[in-house]
Amino acid sequence: MDSKPADAPLAFAFAAFAATAAGAYFAYALQPVWWLAWLAPIPVFAYALRAGRAMAFAVAALAFLAGAASWWPFLHGRLHVPAFALAAAFAVPSLLFGVAALVLRAFARRGFVAAAPFAVACLWTAVSFVAASTSVDGTAGNLAYSQMDFLPAIQIAAFGGIHAIGFLVMLFAASIAVVFAPVAANARLRASAIGVAVVALALAAGGWRLADTVAPTLKVAALAIDDPGAELVPKAGSPAGQALVSRYVDGVGAAANAGAKLVLIPENIATVDDAAAPAFETAFRDAARANAVDVVVGAGRGATGPERNVAYVFRAGGDKPERYTKTHLVPGFEKHFAPGDGTPLVVDDPAARWAVSICKDLDFPQYQRKYGLARAGLLVVPAWDFVDDAWMHNRMAVLRGVENGYAMLRTARDGLLTVSDDRGRVLASVESASAPLAMLVATAPVAHRPTWYARIGDVFSYAAIAVFVLLCALLALDARKRAAGSI
Protein backbone atom coordinates (compact mmCIF):
# COMPACT_ATOMS: atom_id res chain seq x y z
CA MET A 1 0.00 0.00 0.00
CA ASP A 2 2.92 2.36 0.68
CA SER A 3 3.67 2.68 -3.00
CA LYS A 4 0.40 4.43 -3.68
CA PRO A 5 0.54 8.19 -4.26
CA ALA A 6 -0.81 10.55 -1.61
CA ASP A 7 -4.58 10.61 -1.69
CA ALA A 8 -5.34 13.03 1.16
CA PRO A 9 -6.43 16.50 -0.02
CA LEU A 10 -4.17 19.46 0.66
CA ALA A 11 -6.88 21.07 2.77
CA PHE A 12 -6.64 18.08 5.11
CA ALA A 13 -2.90 18.73 5.49
CA PHE A 14 -3.39 22.40 6.37
CA ALA A 15 -6.20 21.63 8.81
CA ALA A 16 -4.22 18.87 10.51
CA PHE A 17 -1.12 21.08 10.76
CA ALA A 18 -3.07 24.00 12.23
CA ALA A 19 -4.97 21.90 14.77
CA THR A 20 -1.91 20.01 16.01
CA ALA A 21 0.33 23.09 16.08
CA ALA A 22 -2.21 25.08 18.09
CA GLY A 23 -2.82 22.20 20.49
CA ALA A 24 0.89 21.53 20.98
CA TYR A 25 1.58 25.24 21.58
CA PHE A 26 -0.62 25.24 24.68
CA ALA A 27 -0.14 21.59 25.68
CA TYR A 28 3.65 21.81 25.96
CA ALA A 29 3.86 25.37 27.32
CA LEU A 30 5.52 26.40 30.58
CA GLN A 31 2.05 26.37 32.13
CA PRO A 32 0.41 23.69 30.01
CA VAL A 33 -3.21 22.85 29.29
CA TRP A 34 -2.94 19.18 30.15
CA TRP A 35 -5.87 17.77 28.17
CA LEU A 36 -4.61 19.26 24.90
CA ALA A 37 -1.56 16.97 25.06
CA TRP A 38 -3.89 13.99 24.61
CA LEU A 39 -5.66 15.54 21.62
CA ALA A 40 -2.97 17.55 19.82
CA PRO A 41 -1.30 14.65 17.95
CA ILE A 42 -4.56 13.20 16.64
CA PRO A 43 -5.06 15.47 13.58
CA VAL A 44 -1.60 14.91 12.08
CA PHE A 45 -1.67 11.22 12.93
CA ALA A 46 -5.04 10.90 11.19
CA TYR A 47 -3.68 12.80 8.20
CA ALA A 48 -0.57 10.61 8.06
CA LEU A 49 -2.72 7.50 7.66
CA ARG A 50 -4.22 8.92 4.46
CA ALA A 51 -1.20 10.75 3.03
CA GLY A 52 2.04 9.83 1.31
CA ARG A 53 5.17 9.28 3.35
CA ALA A 54 6.84 12.61 2.61
CA MET A 55 3.77 14.71 3.40
CA ALA A 56 2.93 12.64 6.49
CA PHE A 57 6.40 13.24 7.91
CA ALA A 58 6.59 16.91 6.95
CA VAL A 59 3.19 17.91 8.32
CA ALA A 60 3.74 16.14 11.63
CA ALA A 61 7.27 17.45 12.15
CA LEU A 62 6.41 21.04 11.23
CA ALA A 63 3.30 21.02 13.42
CA PHE A 64 5.29 19.94 16.46
CA LEU A 65 7.99 22.50 15.66
CA ALA A 66 5.38 25.26 15.53
CA GLY A 67 3.95 24.09 18.84
CA ALA A 68 7.36 24.17 20.50
CA ALA A 69 7.55 27.90 19.78
CA SER A 70 5.78 28.52 23.10
CA TRP A 71 9.17 27.95 24.78
CA TRP A 72 11.02 30.44 22.58
CA PRO A 73 10.38 33.63 24.64
CA PHE A 74 11.64 31.93 27.79
CA LEU A 75 14.67 30.14 26.37
CA HIS A 76 15.80 32.85 23.97
CA GLY A 77 14.38 35.96 25.62
CA ARG A 78 15.04 35.28 29.31
CA LEU A 79 17.83 32.68 29.28
CA HIS A 80 19.48 34.06 26.11
CA VAL A 81 20.01 30.65 24.56
CA PRO A 82 21.35 31.28 21.02
CA ALA A 83 18.80 30.91 18.24
CA PHE A 84 20.87 28.28 16.38
CA ALA A 85 21.11 26.15 19.54
CA LEU A 86 17.36 26.39 20.06
CA ALA A 87 16.71 25.46 16.45
CA ALA A 88 18.78 22.33 16.91
CA ALA A 89 17.10 21.50 20.22
CA PHE A 90 13.61 21.93 18.77
CA ALA A 91 14.48 19.91 15.68
CA VAL A 92 15.04 16.66 17.58
CA PRO A 93 11.53 16.23 19.09
CA SER A 94 10.00 17.57 15.88
CA LEU A 95 11.76 14.94 13.81
CA LEU A 96 10.71 12.32 16.35
CA PHE A 97 7.10 13.40 15.98
CA GLY A 98 7.41 13.10 12.21
CA VAL A 99 8.89 9.63 12.53
CA ALA A 100 6.09 8.66 14.94
CA ALA A 101 3.55 9.60 12.27
CA LEU A 102 5.40 7.43 9.75
CA VAL A 103 5.49 4.51 12.18
CA LEU A 104 1.75 4.72 12.75
CA ARG A 105 1.20 4.90 9.01
CA ALA A 106 3.50 1.98 8.24
CA PHE A 107 2.00 -0.41 10.77
CA ALA A 108 -1.63 0.49 10.09
CA ARG A 109 -1.36 0.40 6.29
CA ARG A 110 0.49 -2.93 6.36
CA GLY A 111 -2.35 -4.50 8.32
CA PHE A 112 -0.82 -4.37 11.82
CA VAL A 113 -3.54 -2.01 12.95
CA ALA A 114 -3.75 -3.11 16.60
CA ALA A 115 0.03 -2.89 16.97
CA ALA A 116 0.29 0.56 15.35
CA PRO A 117 -0.62 2.69 18.41
CA PHE A 118 1.67 0.64 20.66
CA ALA A 119 4.54 1.01 18.19
CA VAL A 120 4.12 4.80 18.31
CA ALA A 121 3.96 4.84 22.12
CA CYS A 122 6.99 2.58 22.45
CA LEU A 123 9.00 4.68 19.99
CA TRP A 124 8.18 7.86 21.88
CA THR A 125 9.11 6.25 25.19
CA ALA A 126 12.36 4.86 23.85
CA VAL A 127 13.60 8.12 22.34
CA SER A 128 12.48 10.18 25.35
CA PHE A 129 14.32 7.83 27.67
CA VAL A 130 17.54 7.91 25.67
CA ALA A 131 17.38 11.69 25.28
CA ALA A 132 16.80 12.25 29.00
CA SER A 133 19.58 9.83 29.93
CA THR A 134 22.14 11.65 27.79
CA SER A 135 21.10 15.31 28.07
CA VAL A 136 22.78 17.80 30.40
CA ASP A 137 19.28 19.11 31.07
CA GLY A 138 17.86 15.75 32.06
CA THR A 139 14.11 15.51 31.53
CA ALA A 140 13.49 19.23 30.93
CA GLY A 141 10.82 19.62 28.25
CA ASN A 142 9.50 16.08 28.65
CA LEU A 143 5.90 15.52 27.55
CA ALA A 144 5.03 14.03 30.96
CA TYR A 145 5.26 17.39 32.72
CA SER A 146 2.28 18.63 30.74
CA GLN A 147 0.19 16.24 32.87
CA MET A 148 1.06 17.53 36.34
CA ASP A 149 -2.47 18.90 36.79
CA PHE A 150 -3.98 15.55 35.76
CA LEU A 151 -3.20 13.55 38.88
CA PRO A 152 -4.54 10.12 37.81
CA ALA A 153 -2.18 10.10 34.81
CA ILE A 154 0.99 10.94 36.72
CA GLN A 155 0.48 8.08 39.17
CA ILE A 156 1.84 5.68 36.55
CA ALA A 157 5.26 7.24 37.23
CA ALA A 158 5.30 5.33 40.53
CA PHE A 159 5.39 2.13 38.44
CA GLY A 160 7.17 2.96 35.22
CA GLY A 161 8.78 6.35 35.77
CA ILE A 162 8.28 9.61 33.88
CA HIS A 163 8.43 7.99 30.44
CA ALA A 164 5.43 5.79 31.17
CA ILE A 165 3.30 8.96 31.26
CA GLY A 166 4.36 9.92 27.74
CA PHE A 167 3.63 6.35 26.68
CA LEU A 168 0.01 6.70 27.83
CA VAL A 169 -0.52 10.06 26.15
CA MET A 170 0.86 8.94 22.80
CA LEU A 171 -0.95 5.59 22.98
CA PHE A 172 -4.26 7.39 23.42
CA ALA A 173 -3.69 9.83 20.56
CA ALA A 174 -2.55 7.09 18.19
CA SER A 175 -5.44 4.82 19.21
CA ILE A 176 -7.98 7.51 18.34
CA ALA A 177 -6.23 8.41 15.09
CA VAL A 178 -6.08 4.82 13.88
CA VAL A 179 -9.84 4.99 13.29
CA PHE A 180 -8.89 6.88 10.12
CA ALA A 181 -6.68 4.07 8.78
CA PRO A 182 -7.58 2.90 5.24
CA VAL A 183 -8.40 -0.63 6.40
CA ALA A 184 -11.54 -2.56 7.26
CA ALA A 185 -13.78 -0.79 9.76
CA ASN A 186 -13.87 -3.66 12.24
CA ALA A 187 -10.04 -3.85 12.33
CA ARG A 188 -9.52 -0.17 12.98
CA LEU A 189 -12.30 0.05 15.58
CA ARG A 190 -10.93 -2.99 17.39
CA ALA A 191 -7.43 -1.52 17.38
CA SER A 192 -8.72 1.80 18.71
CA ALA A 193 -10.70 0.09 21.46
CA ILE A 194 -7.68 -1.93 22.64
CA GLY A 195 -5.45 1.12 22.99
CA VAL A 196 -8.10 3.23 24.69
CA ALA A 197 -8.90 0.38 27.09
CA VAL A 198 -5.26 0.15 28.18
CA VAL A 199 -5.19 3.90 28.85
CA ALA A 200 -8.48 3.75 30.74
CA LEU A 201 -7.22 0.95 32.97
CA ALA A 202 -4.05 2.88 33.77
CA LEU A 203 -6.03 6.02 34.64
CA ALA A 204 -8.41 3.98 36.79
CA ALA A 205 -5.42 2.56 38.68
CA GLY A 206 -4.14 6.11 39.10
CA GLY A 207 -7.46 7.23 40.52
CA TRP A 208 -7.43 4.31 42.94
CA ARG A 209 -3.91 5.25 44.06
CA LEU A 210 -5.04 8.82 44.77
CA ALA A 211 -7.64 7.55 47.22
CA ASP A 212 -4.90 6.40 49.58
CA THR A 213 -3.92 8.72 52.45
CA VAL A 214 -0.85 8.88 54.65
CA ALA A 215 0.31 9.90 58.12
CA PRO A 216 2.31 11.05 60.10
CA THR A 217 2.96 14.69 59.33
CA LEU A 218 5.41 17.43 60.20
CA LYS A 219 4.93 21.19 60.39
CA VAL A 220 7.38 22.78 57.95
CA ALA A 221 8.15 26.24 56.60
CA ALA A 222 9.73 27.70 53.49
CA LEU A 223 11.18 31.21 53.19
CA ALA A 224 12.28 33.27 50.18
CA ILE A 225 13.44 36.83 49.55
CA ASP A 226 13.18 38.33 46.08
CA ASP A 227 14.77 41.78 46.02
CA PRO A 228 15.16 43.00 42.42
CA GLY A 229 17.31 45.92 43.49
CA ALA A 230 19.74 43.87 45.53
CA GLU A 231 22.88 41.97 44.56
CA LEU A 232 21.87 38.50 43.39
CA VAL A 233 24.49 36.59 45.36
CA PRO A 234 26.21 38.89 47.87
CA LYS A 235 29.30 37.85 49.78
CA ALA A 236 28.20 36.61 53.18
CA GLY A 237 30.71 38.87 54.94
CA SER A 238 29.68 42.05 53.11
CA PRO A 239 27.12 44.50 54.54
CA ALA A 240 24.57 43.31 51.96
CA GLY A 241 25.28 39.68 52.81
CA GLN A 242 25.04 40.28 56.54
CA ALA A 243 21.74 42.11 56.13
CA LEU A 244 20.34 39.27 54.02
CA VAL A 245 21.39 36.65 56.57
CA SER A 246 19.78 38.73 59.31
CA ARG A 247 16.48 38.86 57.43
CA TYR A 248 16.48 35.11 56.96
CA VAL A 249 17.37 34.53 60.62
CA ASP A 250 14.37 36.68 61.59
CA GLY A 251 12.27 34.57 59.22
CA VAL A 252 13.41 31.40 60.98
CA GLY A 253 12.11 32.82 64.23
CA ALA A 254 8.79 33.80 62.68
CA ALA A 255 8.38 30.34 61.15
CA ALA A 256 9.16 28.69 64.50
CA ASN A 257 6.59 30.90 66.20
CA ALA A 258 4.06 29.61 63.66
CA GLY A 259 4.83 26.05 64.75
CA ALA A 260 7.34 24.91 62.13
CA LYS A 261 9.91 22.29 63.10
CA LEU A 262 11.85 22.41 59.82
CA VAL A 263 12.65 25.63 57.95
CA LEU A 264 13.94 25.80 54.36
CA ILE A 265 15.79 28.75 52.79
CA PRO A 266 16.54 28.94 49.02
CA GLU A 267 19.56 27.95 46.99
CA ASN A 268 22.75 30.02 46.82
CA ILE A 269 21.57 33.04 48.83
CA ALA A 270 25.17 34.19 49.39
CA THR A 271 28.79 33.31 48.71
CA VAL A 272 30.50 32.00 51.83
CA ASP A 273 34.29 32.03 51.80
CA ASP A 274 36.60 30.81 54.56
CA ALA A 275 36.63 34.20 56.29
CA ALA A 276 32.84 34.57 56.32
CA ALA A 277 32.02 30.94 57.11
CA PRO A 278 32.26 31.14 60.93
CA ALA A 279 29.84 34.08 61.22
CA PHE A 280 27.46 32.64 58.58
CA GLU A 281 27.33 29.25 60.23
CA THR A 282 27.03 30.70 63.72
CA ALA A 283 24.04 32.85 62.72
CA PHE A 284 22.00 29.92 61.42
CA ARG A 285 23.22 27.48 64.06
CA ASP A 286 22.12 29.86 66.81
CA ALA A 287 18.77 30.43 65.05
CA ALA A 288 18.20 26.68 64.89
CA ARG A 289 19.09 26.21 68.54
CA ALA A 290 17.18 29.21 69.87
CA ASN A 291 14.01 28.27 68.01
CA ALA A 292 14.31 24.48 68.35
CA VAL A 293 14.01 23.96 64.58
CA ASP A 294 16.10 22.36 61.88
CA VAL A 295 17.23 24.84 59.21
CA VAL A 296 18.33 24.11 55.65
CA VAL A 297 19.94 26.97 53.71
CA GLY A 298 21.66 27.12 50.32
CA ALA A 299 24.91 28.99 49.69
CA GLY A 300 27.91 29.09 47.39
CA ARG A 301 30.82 27.75 49.39
CA GLY A 302 34.30 28.77 48.37
CA ALA A 303 37.26 27.33 50.24
CA THR A 304 40.80 26.35 49.39
CA GLY A 305 39.34 24.09 46.68
CA PRO A 306 36.80 24.88 43.95
CA GLU A 307 33.59 26.73 44.78
CA ARG A 308 30.54 24.53 45.27
CA ASN A 309 26.79 25.02 45.46
CA VAL A 310 25.87 23.55 48.84
CA ALA A 311 22.94 23.15 51.19
CA TYR A 312 23.77 23.52 54.86
CA VAL A 313 21.73 21.53 57.38
CA PHE A 314 21.67 23.05 60.87
CA ARG A 315 20.07 20.70 63.41
CA ALA A 316 18.14 22.09 66.35
CA GLY A 317 20.49 20.44 68.81
CA GLY A 318 23.57 20.23 66.63
CA ASP A 319 26.91 21.97 66.56
CA LYS A 320 28.54 21.54 63.16
CA PRO A 321 26.31 21.74 60.07
CA GLU A 322 26.06 18.90 57.57
CA ARG A 323 26.39 19.77 53.90
CA TYR A 324 25.03 18.45 50.63
CA THR A 325 26.69 19.51 47.36
CA LYS A 326 24.67 20.07 44.19
CA THR A 327 25.61 17.53 41.53
CA HIS A 328 23.80 18.71 38.38
CA LEU A 329 24.75 22.27 37.51
CA VAL A 330 22.98 24.64 35.11
CA PRO A 331 25.16 24.90 31.97
CA GLY A 332 26.67 28.36 31.65
CA PHE A 333 25.02 29.87 34.72
CA GLU A 334 26.91 27.65 37.17
CA LYS A 335 30.16 27.08 35.33
CA HIS A 336 32.08 28.51 38.30
CA PHE A 337 30.86 25.67 40.55
CA ALA A 338 32.37 22.20 40.83
CA PRO A 339 29.75 19.43 40.93
CA GLY A 340 29.23 17.19 43.93
CA ASP A 341 29.89 13.47 43.92
CA GLY A 342 26.20 12.53 44.17
CA THR A 343 26.32 11.41 47.79
CA PRO A 344 22.84 11.96 49.25
CA LEU A 345 22.29 13.66 52.59
CA VAL A 346 19.66 11.80 54.62
CA VAL A 347 18.63 12.96 58.09
CA ASP A 348 17.21 10.47 60.59
CA ASP A 349 14.94 12.43 62.89
CA PRO A 350 12.48 11.02 65.44
CA ALA A 351 9.69 12.90 63.66
CA ALA A 352 10.66 12.00 60.09
CA ARG A 353 13.36 10.62 57.82
CA TRP A 354 14.11 13.45 55.42
CA ALA A 355 16.73 14.21 52.83
CA VAL A 356 18.21 17.16 50.94
CA SER A 357 18.75 17.81 47.24
CA ILE A 358 19.17 21.03 45.25
CA CYS A 359 17.15 22.49 42.35
CA LYS A 360 18.42 21.04 39.05
CA ASP A 361 19.28 17.73 40.69
CA LEU A 362 15.52 17.10 40.59
CA ASP A 363 15.53 17.17 36.77
CA PHE A 364 17.18 13.72 36.76
CA PRO A 365 14.91 10.82 37.78
CA GLN A 366 17.66 8.22 37.80
CA TYR A 367 19.66 10.37 40.21
CA GLN A 368 16.69 10.93 42.52
CA ARG A 369 15.93 7.21 42.81
CA LYS A 370 18.57 6.97 45.52
CA TYR A 371 16.32 8.99 47.82
CA GLY A 372 13.49 6.54 47.27
CA LEU A 373 15.85 3.65 47.96
CA ALA A 374 17.00 5.48 51.12
CA ARG A 375 13.33 5.50 52.21
CA ALA A 376 13.13 9.26 52.67
CA GLY A 377 9.66 10.44 53.65
CA LEU A 378 10.30 14.10 52.81
CA LEU A 379 12.71 15.69 50.34
CA VAL A 380 13.85 19.21 51.20
CA VAL A 381 14.84 21.24 48.13
CA PRO A 382 16.40 24.72 48.10
CA ALA A 383 16.09 26.12 44.56
CA TRP A 384 16.40 29.16 42.32
CA ASP A 385 14.18 29.47 39.25
CA PHE A 386 13.78 32.00 36.42
CA VAL A 387 10.31 33.50 37.10
CA ASP A 388 8.73 32.31 33.83
CA ASP A 389 9.47 28.68 34.59
CA ALA A 390 8.29 28.85 38.22
CA TRP A 391 5.33 26.51 37.75
CA MET A 392 7.06 24.12 35.38
CA HIS A 393 10.28 23.66 37.31
CA ASN A 394 8.38 23.23 40.54
CA ARG A 395 6.17 20.52 39.06
CA MET A 396 9.16 18.77 37.53
CA ALA A 397 10.47 18.38 41.05
CA VAL A 398 7.09 17.28 42.40
CA LEU A 399 7.02 14.35 39.97
CA ARG A 400 10.17 12.93 41.60
CA GLY A 401 8.11 12.47 44.76
CA VAL A 402 5.51 10.45 42.84
CA GLU A 403 8.21 8.24 41.35
CA ASN A 404 9.97 7.58 44.62
CA GLY A 405 7.36 7.76 47.39
CA TYR A 406 8.25 10.93 49.27
CA ALA A 407 6.63 14.28 49.98
CA MET A 408 8.49 17.48 49.16
CA LEU A 409 9.24 20.86 50.68
CA ARG A 410 10.67 23.19 48.03
CA THR A 411 11.46 26.88 48.01
CA ALA A 412 12.77 28.86 45.05
CA ARG A 413 13.92 32.41 44.61
CA ASP A 414 12.09 33.84 41.58
CA GLY A 415 9.68 30.93 41.86
CA LEU A 416 7.31 29.14 44.21
CA LEU A 417 7.34 27.92 47.79
CA THR A 418 5.44 24.62 47.91
CA VAL A 419 4.62 21.56 49.93
CA SER A 420 3.53 18.50 47.94
CA ASP A 421 2.75 14.89 48.79
CA ASP A 422 3.97 11.66 47.23
CA ARG A 423 0.93 11.56 44.91
CA GLY A 424 1.87 14.85 43.25
CA ARG A 425 -0.74 16.96 45.02
CA VAL A 426 0.47 20.47 45.82
CA LEU A 427 -0.85 20.95 49.35
CA ALA A 428 0.25 24.57 49.80
CA SER A 429 1.88 27.17 47.57
CA VAL A 430 3.10 30.77 47.80
CA GLU A 431 4.91 32.93 45.23
CA SER A 432 8.39 34.04 46.25
CA ALA A 433 7.54 37.58 45.15
CA SER A 434 4.38 37.70 47.26
CA ALA A 435 6.08 39.58 50.14
CA PRO A 436 9.47 41.13 51.03
CA LEU A 437 10.00 37.93 53.00
CA ALA A 438 7.73 35.26 51.53
CA MET A 439 6.85 32.56 54.02
CA LEU A 440 4.88 29.34 53.70
CA VAL A 441 3.99 27.33 56.78
CA ALA A 442 2.19 24.05 56.16
CA THR A 443 1.81 20.47 57.31
CA ALA A 444 3.73 17.95 55.20
CA PRO A 445 3.20 14.17 55.14
CA VAL A 446 6.49 12.51 55.99
CA ALA A 447 5.93 8.75 55.76
CA HIS A 448 7.90 7.07 52.97
CA ARG A 449 5.76 4.87 50.73
CA PRO A 450 7.74 2.47 48.52
CA THR A 451 7.18 2.53 44.76
CA TRP A 452 7.93 0.07 42.01
CA TYR A 453 9.94 2.70 40.17
CA ALA A 454 12.28 3.18 43.14
CA ARG A 455 12.75 -0.60 43.28
CA ILE A 456 13.21 -1.45 39.60
CA GLY A 457 14.12 1.85 37.95
CA ASP A 458 13.60 2.27 34.22
CA VAL A 459 12.56 -1.28 33.40
CA PHE A 460 9.42 0.05 31.67
CA SER A 461 11.50 2.19 29.31
CA TYR A 462 13.84 -0.71 28.50
CA ALA A 463 10.79 -2.89 27.85
CA ALA A 464 9.38 -0.25 25.49
CA ILE A 465 12.64 -0.26 23.54
CA ALA A 466 12.56 -4.04 23.29
CA VAL A 467 8.90 -4.11 22.19
CA PHE A 468 9.51 -1.46 19.55
CA VAL A 469 12.46 -3.41 18.12
CA LEU A 470 10.36 -6.58 18.09
CA LEU A 471 7.45 -4.88 16.33
CA CYS A 472 9.77 -3.39 13.73
CA ALA A 473 11.29 -6.83 13.16
CA LEU A 474 7.82 -8.29 12.59
CA LEU A 475 7.02 -5.49 10.16
CA ALA A 476 10.26 -6.07 8.27
CA LEU A 477 9.60 -9.81 8.14
CA ASP A 478 6.14 -9.18 6.74
CA ALA A 479 7.58 -6.86 4.11
CA ARG A 480 10.08 -9.54 3.09
CA LYS A 481 7.32 -12.13 2.77
CA ARG A 482 5.28 -9.76 0.64
CA ALA A 483 8.27 -9.06 -1.58
CA ALA A 484 8.99 -12.77 -1.95
CA GLY A 485 5.36 -13.47 -2.79
CA SER A 486 5.35 -10.88 -5.55
CA ILE A 487 8.31 -12.39 -7.39
**pLDDT tens-digit profile of 74-96?**
988 888 888 888 888 888 889 99
273 occurs within a structural domain: yes
Overall size of the chain counted in residues: 487
Q: Are 116 and 108 spatial neighbours (Cβ–Cβ below 8 Å)?
A: yes
Please give the model's pTM, rounded to 2 decimal places: 0.94
Looking at the structure, tell me whether residues 146 and 254 fall in a common domain.
no
Same domain, 442 and 462: no
The half-sphere exposure of 364 on its side-chain side, counting CA atoms within 13 A, is 22
CATH code where residue 372 lies: 3.60.110.10
Both 16 and 152 in one domain: the answer is yes
Q: In total, how many domains does the chain have? A: 2
Same domain, 468 and 414: no
Q: 160 and 37, same structural domain?
A: yes
Coil vs helix vs strand at 364? coil
Residues 129 and 108 in one domain: yes
Torsion of CA 355, 360, 365, 370, to 10 degrees: -30
- Whether 46 and 82 map to the same domain: the answer is yes
Is 171 domain-assigned?
Answer: yes
- Give the residues of the chain that fall short of pLDDT 70: 1-7, 303-304, 486-487
Q: With b meaning 16 or more CB within 10 Å and e meaning fewer, what string describes 121-138?
A: bbbbbbbbbebbeeeeeb
Phi and psi at residue 216, to the nearest 5°: -85, -175
Backbone phi and psi for residue 439, each to the nearest 5 degrees, phi listed first: -140, 135
pLDDT of residue 155: 98
CA quadruple 258, 262, 266, 268: dihedral positive or negative? positive
- Backbone φ, ψ for residue 318 (5° rounding): -95, 175
- Are 152 and 221 in the same domain? no
Residue 316 lies in domain: 217-448
Angle, alpha carbons 260-385-406 (nearest 5°): 50
481 with 423, same domain: the answer is no
